[in-house]
Amino acid sequence: MTAREFNFDGLVGPSHNYAGLSFGNVASFSNVRSASNPKQAALQGLAKMRALAQRGFAQALLPPQSRPNFRLLRKIGFTGTDAQVLEKAYREAPVILACAYSASAMWTANAATVSPSADTHDSRVHFTPANLNNKLHRADEHPQSERTLRAIFKDDKYFSVHPALPGTPAFGDEGAANHTRFAATHGSKGVEFFVYGRVEFDPSAPSPKKYPARQTFEASAAIARLHGLDPLRTVYASQSPDVIDQGVFHNDVIAVGSANVLFYHECAFANEAVALADLRNGLSTVNAELVPVRVPVADVTVADAVASYLFNSQLLLKDTGKMALVIPQECHENAAVAKYLDGMVASGGPIDELLHFDLRQSMRNGGGPACLRLRVVLTDEEAQAMHQGVIMTDDLYHKLVAWVEKHYRDTIEPKDLADPQLAIECQTALDDLTKILNLPGLYDL
Ligand SMILES: N=C(N)NCCC[C@H](NC(=O)CCC(=O)O)C(=O)O
């Protein structure tokens, strides 16, 4: 079966700001309370989407979520008109107000875990929105993620959208940031690889000491069950707790895979040899062979990987059979990483091209190219069956640039979150967006 991998990038929302909300995510903490530029953030993301679409890669987008999250603010006791709710929240609980305003749904790798139809028991594409329950500002994304996915992937002949897992620490789920699919080609049967940071019901299992492990084994196993994955083609690996404590808050900060290639740092997994052997075994059942590209600590330290986001890159399979690596420009600014990449591209290995983008606005919150996209492998028939209004074209790109120019601010500082006008601007923008994307009723406003 032929299939293509669509990248659904998150369209950055109009309230993008730096609130330091993600303990364990070094960039988020170091840029706390600095001024953001939502307009630039959205345009940077759109430029990446357009460039990749122009290169012939299948590119689509997921719309931002409605902010501020008045439902959250009212649920915790802020009452009155919208303006009064904002004013009281700013005075009494500014950090919670920032949570209600976070544009974090832009990192769509955390929107859901997706299993292509070639892997599932009923040959439909399965989606489970991530509950993201480790962080207040993200824990309420899943109802809208589910609604959005249902709006785009409506036809239940082809698609199955599950509700998020129970929102409790035992089922901490961060979506595709901890999930990778390997296969000989996108359309063939594959191996789904789940990397978890801790095991809720096994206190002897490795877990970090300083920063939280956001993904549990129990959550990964539940998703494999829900999606009806074949146990012979499902592999679990424990993330190294030491790297979590060095700022690797998701596995996609230290490893990325696509088709049969795994590009990873030697310190990524608690037991590298077992993880690779299990992947090889799984792939042997579908006559595919793993091609690992292992980056040794002698070339790139974990600190350099975290600072440059080398592994938070996209591996895109080209018609030539080789891969392009989509990296943030920070990789060129880090001497060790730049040197490594030059050598890698020249080595004759599976990755023969680098595509770099300026995603600085997102990077300052710890979101690189891979965070900004959710991969959905679709056959031609499935691609036809999904909502077409979110597919990136030149026409849509120009419409969205004009929309951003019209509705987005150039700056948001912490004090701006108290401004009731900002809330109105955000809502007006999204209302307009539903028309551009032809998704009426997308938001439960
Ligand atoms: N690795 C992947 N797939 N995603 C990156 C998500 C970054 C996000 N940052 C934030 O949520 C920062 C928000 C703030 O501090 O304002 C997070 O930590 O969940």
Please give the chain's pLDDT, 445 residues, in tens. 799 999 999 999 999 999 999 999 999 999 998 999 999 999 999 999 999 999 999 999 999 999 999 999 999 999 999 999 999 999 999 999 999 999 999 999 999 999 999 999 999 999 999 999 999 999 999 999 999 999 999 999 999 999 999 999 999 999 999 999 999 999 999 999 999 999 999 989 999 999 999 999 999 999 999 999 999 999 999 999 999 999 999 999 999 999 999 999 999 999 999 999 999 999 999 999 999 999 999 999 999 999 999 999 999 999 999 999 999 999 999 999 999 999 999 999 999 999 999 999 999 999 999 999 999 999 999 999 999 999 999 999 999 999 999 999 999 999 999 999 999 999 999 999 999 999 999 998 7
373: annotated binding-site residue? Answer: no
Ligand 1 within 6 A of CB of 250 = yes
pLDDT given at position 107:
98
Q: Is 275 helix (H, G, I), strand (E, B) or coil?
A: helix
Alpha carbons 404 and 147: distance in angstroms, whole number: 23
80: annotated binding-site residue? Answer: no
Q: Is 99 a catalytic residue?
A: no
Ligand 1 within 6 A of CB of 108 = no
Q: Which of 133, 98, 100 is nearest to 28 (CA)?
A: 98
Q: What's the angle, vertex CA 308, arms to CA 306 and CA 310, rounded to 5?
A: 85
93: annotated binding-site residue? Answer: no
Q: Which of 167, 214, 168 is nearest to 25 (CA)?
A: 214
Q: Is 190 helix (H, G, I), strand (E, B) or coil?
A: strand
Q: Is 426 a catalytic residue?
A: no
Ligand 1 within 6 A of CB of 20 = yes
Q: Which of 47, 45, 38, 43 is nearest to 13 (CA)?
A: 38
Identified catalytic residue from 16, 227, 250, 407: 250
pLDDT given at position 136:
97
Ligand 1 within 6 A of CB of 178 = no
How, if at all, do strands 190-196 and 179-183 pair? antiparallel
Q: In what order do the strands lie in the sheet with 3-10?
A: 59-62, 3-10, 373-379
pLDDT given at position 127:
99
Ligand 1 within 6 A of CB of 68 = no
271: annotated binding-site residue? Answer: no
pLDDT given at position 18:
98
pLDDT given at position 445:
72
- 262 CA to centre of ligand 1 in angstroms: 23
Closest atom of ligand 1 relative to the 98 alpha carbon: 16
Q: Is 381 a catalytic residue?
A: no
pLDDT given at position 346:
97
How, if at all, do strands 314-317 and 323-328 pair? antiparallel
Identified catalytic residue from 5, 146, 174, 218: 174
Global pTM value: 0.98
Backbone φ/ψ region at 349: left (φ over 0), alpha (ψ -120 to 50), beta: beta
> What ipTM, to 2 d.p.?
0.99
pLDDT given at position 1:
74
- 309 CA to centre of ligand 1 in angstroms: 13
- 361 CA to centre of ligand 1 in angstroms: 12
Alpha carbons 228 and 218: distance in angstroms, whole number: 15
Closest atom of ligand 1 relative to the 17 alpha carbon: 16
Alpha carbons 257 and 330: distance in angstroms, whole number: 20
Alpha carbon 360 to its chain centroid, in Å, reads 16
248: phi then psi, degrees, rounded to nearest 5: -90, 80
- 249 CA to centre of ligand 1 in angstroms: 9
